[in-house]
Amino acid sequence: MENDDVRTEDLPDDLTPFITRTALDHIGGGAFGDVWKCNCNHDANGISAFVAVKAFRLPERYDLETLNRKISREIGILRILRHNNIVPLWGIATGFGRISELRCLVSPWMPNGTLNVYLVSNHNELSPLDRSRMLEDVSAGLRYLHSISIMHGDITRANILIDKGGHARLIDFGLSTITQPLIDQSHLAATSICPGAIRYAAPELVLPDNTREIPVPLEKADIYSFGCIMLQILSGRRPWSEIPSEAFIIVSISQGCGPQRPDGQPTIINSDWKFIQKCLQSGPELRPSADEVLDFVMHRFSSPDPCHGSGPPDDPSDDGPDNDPGASPHGGSNESDTVEQPPGSPPGRESKPSILLKPRISYRHSGSATTHSGTAPNNPDDAPDDDPRSSPYDGSNESDTAEQLPDSPPLHPGREPNPSILLET
């Protein structure tokens, strides 16, 4: 059976008996998780596919039974989702990680890695149309999640994977109820926004307002993150690339500033930048809905703006990949033993499960960060830029440093970041 024909309802909940490890199968790891590339062979249905098995790394104090029950409940809901731009969850498996009884998450293998890896590896080949299609993929996946009351809560370049056909897919949505207890109980509890995610996090999550009477709608935080992703896809640069330090990004956010418009090629045209600014509004209620995001993306080329730039960034090493494509079997885009992807719903036809999930997400910030070994780095920039909590595939430290860009108008004119204000760490 081709993997495009795989349906999760054809698979048992527990895939452990059908999973075999491959040589050098452990392809990533970090403070909260490890990932293995394995084979899944289910003879009864003729299924043979590469899968990614993700195991959470437990703190010293944990309740295995409670955690397993929570994982099974979340997976039971998420398995029934159907969309072309969502990485499906096929089931669970055990026998991986330090605690063999812990239930792990099983998903189809995405051969082209994360969005960041793909953008860097293909920056010379991506046309304006390619970039537009990637935006359509991300916005369609996000609209689908919001339509069934699932808020992602952690949209970053590490939680968007690229499948064999070059299509973007969202992953790790709705799992905050699993990872948050791990954060709360561990020595990494200083910050629940993992390193690298600050660049994509909405102001209300970085600097929560405890005096606010009406809870902040989480879907609006997803829209802010989409604006950051749109900036990166169109420009080839990560958001806040003009500021290398995450500590100073937090200072800038506290001053009401947002990511600046990158210079260089490819360029962001005026109509796109205007919409990005709408997504990056400091007030959540001022941001568009997921429906409005998708509508704008689908009609971008009807704008009278000049043609989109199509060249690579000035310095591709500025936003280097999370993992060197040559060092990780998942980082490169030229892997020969790739798998076909399970089906999603045809465009415009989305199947909606009857169970709605609204995960509770709690973000806090402290100036300290922690490395995989549990020791605090000397400098905030030494922390890994993408963490396994954000991605089931990339576990290595980010090595890129952002190039200082010339001054450009901030999100809120007249409110430039003040570098003289230091964040206590």
When pLDDT is cut at 50, 70 and 90, the band that residue 205 belongs to is confident
When pLDDT is cut at 50, 70 and 90, the band that residue 232 belongs to is very high
Q: Is the pLDDT of residue 187 over 80?
A: no
When pLDDT is cut at 50, 70 and 90, the band that residue 245 belongs to is confident
The predicted model gives 375-402 an average pLDDT of: 38
- Domains in the chain and their CATH numbers? 110-382 (1.10.510.10)
Span of 43-47, 155-159, 163-167, 346-350 with lowest mean pLDDT: 346-350
pLDDT at 27: 72
- H-helix or E-strand spanning residue 76: helix 64-78
Question: How far from 248 is each of 2, 253, 291, 418, CA to CA, in Å?
Answer: 49, 9, 33, 9
Question: How far from 265 is each of 123, 190, 235, 310, 404, CA to CA, in Å?
Answer: 11, 38, 7, 7, 15
For residues 309 and 104, the answer to whether their CB atoms sit within 8 Å is no
Q: Is the pLDDT of residue 358 over 80?
A: no
Q: Is the pLDDT of residue 418 over 90?
A: no
pLDDT at 303: 53
Query: Percent of the chain, pLDDT > 70?
Result: 56
When pLDDT is cut at 50, 70 and 90, the band that residue 97 belongs to is confident
Say which residue, 185 or 265, is predicted with more confidence. Answer: 265
When pLDDT is cut at 50, 70 and 90, the band that residue 145 belongs to is very high
What's the rounded Cα separation, in Å, for the pair 249 and 95? 40
DSSP 189-222: TT-SS-TTGGGG--HHHHS--TT-SSPPPHHHHH
54 known member of a binding site: yes
When pLDDT is cut at 50, 70 and 90, the band that residue 44 belongs to is low
Say which residue, 54 or 304, is predicted with more confidence. Answer: 54
Number of H helices, E strands in the chain: 9, 7
Say which residue, 299 or 420, is predicted with more confidence. Answer: 299
> Average pLDDT over the chain, rounded to whole?
69
Q: Is the pLDDT of residue 239 over 50?
A: yes
pLDDT at 400: 39
When pLDDT is cut at 50, 70 and 90, the band that residue 336 belongs to is very low
**Which one-letter amino acid corresponds to residue 363?**
Y
Q: Is the pLDDT of residue 54 over 60?
A: yes
φ and ψ of 143, to 5 deg: -60, -40
When pLDDT is cut at 50, 70 and 90, the band that residue 151 belongs to is confident
